[in-house]
């Protein structure tokens, strides 16, 4: 039987509609407008397209949005100065520095310089630490999107065996940490797999919820999945181009096989991807409320 599709693109649309209403309400009732700055250093085409997509969404939702493009040879000191400026700017509630940064800039130093209350990417160690102790401030956007997909698709997370393949700081580790917390969309029993895991299939076959963020196209085959599992495929891998030059994308899960075994699965594209930017916007609205002491 074919699995139900968890359509991230549709869920993202639903959340954006909610956010748009909230932005209008904040403006009308409190006279504040969520402000997001995206700082892009250099001319990496992928980064340019990510930043453009973030700016476009911010604009559509009615944010005050600033796109700050800087040359690839900007000094670390100047970039730190810019962050300091936005940390102090009351119109800006969320600061996003698009990664990767050029090699001469210490990425960690830059991310640590962002005011944790404006860290809408959720990468600052203060926010990572808060997540760890169950007092999350801003959740990192991709894991936040995954959890929201689980909740909105009605997946039973509490008590589930959740297996995460991948342990990166932006996806694998934070989603594992989120699912193990007490609270809605959590309370799971979590296993994390990586390249040193002895028998990946042993673990994936036990998973009621299988989350794959390995960056290896079609790595998880149908026979590695427990019948009836919910599969969240985070992978976005370009495996070629169409004759027209369009990117051909594959997830980390062999979709055609997996959909015959799983009870629900996210497609690639149109699954986790559209959720990431949406959750960035959700974090920025939250930042606006926190920084303006708005509780309603």
Distance CA 90, CA 121 (A): 18
Instruction: Tally DSSP H helices, then E strands, for the chain.
Output: 10, 11
Closest distance between ligand NAP and the C-beta of residue 74, in Å? 25
What are the DSSP E strand ranges found in 42-186?
Answer: 64-70, 94-97, 161-165
Cα Rg for the chain, rounded, in angstroms?
19
The single residue of 115, 117, 119, 121 carrying the catalytic annotation is 121
Span near ligand NAP by CB under 6 A; candidates 31-39, 147-155, 195-203, 241-249? 195-203
Stretch that binds ligand NAP, among 23-31, 63-71, 102-110, 191-199 (CB under 6 A): 191-199
Going by C-alpha positions, the residue among 53, 34, 47 that lies closest to residue 94 is 34
Annotation says 56 is catalytic: no
Q: Which is nearer to ligand NAP, 224 or 261 (CB)?
A: 224
Name residues contacting ligand NAP, limited to 128-167 (CB under 6 A).
Answer: 142, 165-167
CB closer to ligand NAP, 74 vs 131 = 131
Helix (H) or strand (E) holding 4: strand 4-5
All residues at 6 or more sequence positions from 46 whose CB lies less than 8 Å from its CB, including other chains: none
Least gap, CB of 114 to ligand NAP (angstroms): 19
Q: Indicate if 103 belongs to the active site.
A: no
Strands (E) located in 130-274: 161-165, 189-193, 209-212, 230-233, 237-241, 247-250, 264-265
Residue 89 is among the residues annotated as catalytic for this protein: no
Using CB under 6 A as the binding rule, whether residue 94 contacts ligand NAP is answered as no
- Residues lying near ligand NAP in the complex (CB under 6 A): 142, 165-168, 170-172, 193-197, 200, 213-216, 219, 234-237, 272-273, 276
Catalytic residue IDs: 54, 98, 121
């Amino acid at each position: 039987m074919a699995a139900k599709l968890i359509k991230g693109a549709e869920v993202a649309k639903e959340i954006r509609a909610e956010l748009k209403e909230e932005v209008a309400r904040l403006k009308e009732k409190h006279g504040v407008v969520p402000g997001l700055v995206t700082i892009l250093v250099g001319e990496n085409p992928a980064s340019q397209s990510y930043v453009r997509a973030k700016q476009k969404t911010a604009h559509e939702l009615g944010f005050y949005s600033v796109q700050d493009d800087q040359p690839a040879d900007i000094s670390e000191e100047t970039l730190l100065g810019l962050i300091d400026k936005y940390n102090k700017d009351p119109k800006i509630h969320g600061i996003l520095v698009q990664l990767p940064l050029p090699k001469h800039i210490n990425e960690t130093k830059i991310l640590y310089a962002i005011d944790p209350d404006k860290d809408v990417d959720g990468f600052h160690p203060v926010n990572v630490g808060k997540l760890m102790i169950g007092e999350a401030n801003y959740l990192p956007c991709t894991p936040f999107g995954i959890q929201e997909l689980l909740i909105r698709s009605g997946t039973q997370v509490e008590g589930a065996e959740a297996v995460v393949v991948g342990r990166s700081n932006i996806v694998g580790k934070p989603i594992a940490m989120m699912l193990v917390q007490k609270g809605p969309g959590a309370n799971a029993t979590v296993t994390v797999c990586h390249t040193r895991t002895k028998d990946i299939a042993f673990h994936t076959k036990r998973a009621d919820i299988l989350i794959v963020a390995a960056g290896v196209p079609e790595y998880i085959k149908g026979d590695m999945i427990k019948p009836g599992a919910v599969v969240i495929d985070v992978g976005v891998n370009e495996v070629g181009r169409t004759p027209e030059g369009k990117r051909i994308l594959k997830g980390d899960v062999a979709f055609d096989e997996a959909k015959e075994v799983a009870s629900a699965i996210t497609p690639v594209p149109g699954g986790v991807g559209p959720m990431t930017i949406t959750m960035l916007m959700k974090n920025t609205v939250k930042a606006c409320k926190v920084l303006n002491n708005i509780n309603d």
